[in-house]
Amino acid sequence: MGRTAQPEPDGDPDAQALFQRLRQGDRAAAAELHDRYAARLYGFIRARVAGDREAAADIYQETFVSVVKDVHRVERVETLWSWLLGVARHKLADFYRRQVREEAARHALTVLETPEPPQDFRRVESREQLLAALRKLNPTHQRVLCLKYLDGQTTDQIALELNRTPKAVESLIDRARLALRAALAEDA
Amino acid sequence: MDDLEELFANLSWDEVPPADLARGTRNAMKAVARSHHPEPDCRAQRGRRAIPPLAILPDMILCGPCPIRLLVLSVSRAPAIAGCPYTEAIHP
């Protein structure tokens, strides 16, 4: 039995029709879905992998292929975009889980020096500056900052997503913020 | 207000993906769509049970009822297989 979501409320009369065509295996519909959301989805993903183009490319491709592959399991979607976002978020979560595992393996071999975080927050002038600083963070810090500041999730929501207590998430966010400030200061 | 909120507000943008990535993904989507519906038409499977070059690679998915496996993570770089409508669609 397929999953049931809400009816299409986004005012796009073509969206539900496109979804039904996808369910029927219409190749043109698959191409149309791609063309309609390619730029929006690629930007969404790039922002959440600290601008990493290679990671963004993999997740972008996995997301689009997955939605077409699994469309027959879904009976209705709220909107095509929210459907794509849901799949992309799962792929991002998988990506970060892999990153955390790899990071743990690296930590077993490396003694890290923790930089002293600056007391004052520096003004960041460009998006690239922020992305570069994010790339210096460990995957857990990257992810928690994205969940909080890009996705606007509450502490409780993040706790559910990361399988931690809300208290632990608050502490994690504090440490991630300090690490980001330190990374920004290094670039100054 | 949290002072990082303003910073992260800049991290939202639309960006056209690289052309080769977009083309490969688009072709893969079309191939996967066709592989699931309505019936697989697998010429490559006639007379042989497996496709060794793809069968040993990781990160694969099964294409519906068809035993052909399509490499998801780098589907645009998957080799074309003679007689296979899915990989041939990616590399026409």
Size of interface A-B (CB pairs under 8 A): 114
Nearest to A149 among B5, B29, B38 (CB): B5
Per-residue model confidence (pLDDT) at position A14: 82
pLDDT at B70 over 90: no
Report B:50-69 residues touching A (Cβ under 8 A): 61, 63
B48 band by pLDDT with thresholds 50, 70 and 90:
very low
Nearest to B8 among A27, A40, A150 (CB): A150
Rounded to whole angstroms, the Cα distance separating B79 from B90 reads: 9
Q: Encoding tokens for residue B28? A: 């893969």
Q: Which residue of A has its CA nearest to B86?
A: A27
ipTM of the shown complex: 0.77
B34 contacts chain A (CB < 8 A)? yes
- A161 Ramachandran zone, left/alpha/beta (phi>0; psi -120 to 50): alpha
Model-level pTM?
Answer: 0.70
Per-residue model confidence (pLDDT) at position A185: 83
Nearest to B28 among A38, A61, A180 (CB): A61
pLDDT at B30 over 90: no
Q: Residue B15: its chain A contacts at CB < 8 A?
A: 39, 42-43, 46
Q: Encoding tokens for residue B16? A: 């056209």
Residue whose tokens read 């993570």? B73
B43 band by pLDDT with thresholds 50, 70 and 90:
very low
Q: Encoding tokens for residue B44? A: 């490559």
In the predicted model, what is the mean pLDDT of residues B11-29? 87
Interchain contact, A39 vs B16, CB within 8 Å: yes
Rounded to whole angstroms, the Cα distance separating B59 from B43 reads: 23
Q: Encoding tokens for residue B48? A: 């042989």
Q: Are A6 and A76 in contact (CB under 8 A)?
A: yes
Per-residue model confidence (pLDDT) at position B11: 79
- Torsion (CA) B32, B35, B41, B42 in degrees, nearest 10: 70
β-bridge mates for residue B70, sequence order: B61
A27 contacts chain B (CB < 8 A)? yes
Could you read off the pLDDT of A88-121 as tens digits, one per residue?
999 999 999 988 888 777 766 554 555 554 444 4
Enumerate the H helices of A108-165 as residue ranges: 127-135, 139-145, 155-162
B88 band by pLDDT with thresholds 50, 70 and 90:
low
Amino acid at B87: T
Interchain contact, A180 vs B4, CB within 8 Å: yes
B8 contacts chain A (CB < 8 A)? yes
B22 contacts chain A (CB < 8 A)? yes
Spans in chain A with pLDDT lower than 50? 1-9, 111, 117-121
Please compute, for residue A166, the number of CA atoms within 13 A of its CA located in the half-sphere on the CB side.
Answer: 5
A47 contacts chain B (CB < 8 A)? yes
Interchain contact, A40 vs B4, CB within 8 Å: no
Per-residue model confidence (pLDDT) at position A148: 93
Q: Residue A44: its chain B contacts at CB < 8 A?
A: 12
Q: Which helix (H) or strand (E) holds B21?
A: helix B19-36
Interchain contact, A69 vs B7, CB within 8 Å: no
Amino acid at B34: R
Q: Are B7 and A35 in contact (CB under 8 A)?
A: no
Per-residue model confidence (pLDDT) at position B9: 81
| Nearest-CA distance A137 → chain B (Å) | 15
B7 or B91, which is more confident? B7
